[in-house]
Amino acid sequence: MRDWTKEELIQEINENKLSVVYFYTPMCGTCQVAKRMLDVTKELFPHLTFGMLDVNYIQDLAMKWEIESVPCLMIFNNGEMKEKIYAFRSVEYLYGLFKEHDGMSVN
């Protein structure tokens, strides 16, 4: 999963049908565990767009989207936030979440 810039984030969520965005901070231990779960799960959805951002560099968007803590995962569909989660729980949980949203995406 590649780190996006703020500009890439805005472009991706507005251009792609379904985008999964992972927000983190570098010193967060829980974020490292969450990223490993995401890396495993995203391999099962090669057609979805995945990106990640350090919230330290997008504080204005973090306030706008009311990101309360990290790790945070947001799912956007056609530029609109559809889901925001903080508890990643398990790979199985993430798989079900992505499958649910993948089935609802508008082509």
One digit per residue, pLDDT tens: the chain, 107 residues?
A: 899 999 999 999 998 789 999 999 999 999 999 999 999 999 999 989 999 999 999 999 999 999 999 999 999 998 899 999 999 999 999 999 999 998 765 44
Q: What is the pLDDT of residue 50?
A: 96
Predicted local distance difference test score (pLDDT) of residue 103: 77
Residue 28 and residue 17: Cα distance in Å, rounded? 30
Which of 22, 49, 21 lies closest to 35 in space, CA to CA?
Answer: 22
- Tell me the domain boundaries of the chain: 6-101
Residue labelled with tokens 């947001």 = 74
Question: Of 28, 48, 62, 91, which one is the catalytic site residue?
Answer: 28
Query: What is the C-alpha separation between 29 and 65, in angstroms, rounded?
Result: 23
9, 61 contact by CB (below 8 A): yes
3-state secondary structure of 44: coil
Tokens of 22: 């992972």
**Residue 31 appears among annotated catalytic residues:** yes
pLDDT of residue 98: 95
What pLDDT was estimated at residue 3? 95
Which residue in 29, 37, 19, 22 sits closest to 81, CA to CA? 19
- pLDDT at residue 16 in the model: 74
72 is catalytic: no
- C-alpha 8/C-alpha 89 separation (Å) is 28
To which CATH superfamily is domain 6-101 assigned? Glutaredoxin (3.40.30.10)
pTM of the model: 0.91
- Tell me, what's the pLDDT at 75? 96
Catalytic residue of the set 9, 13, 21, 31: 31
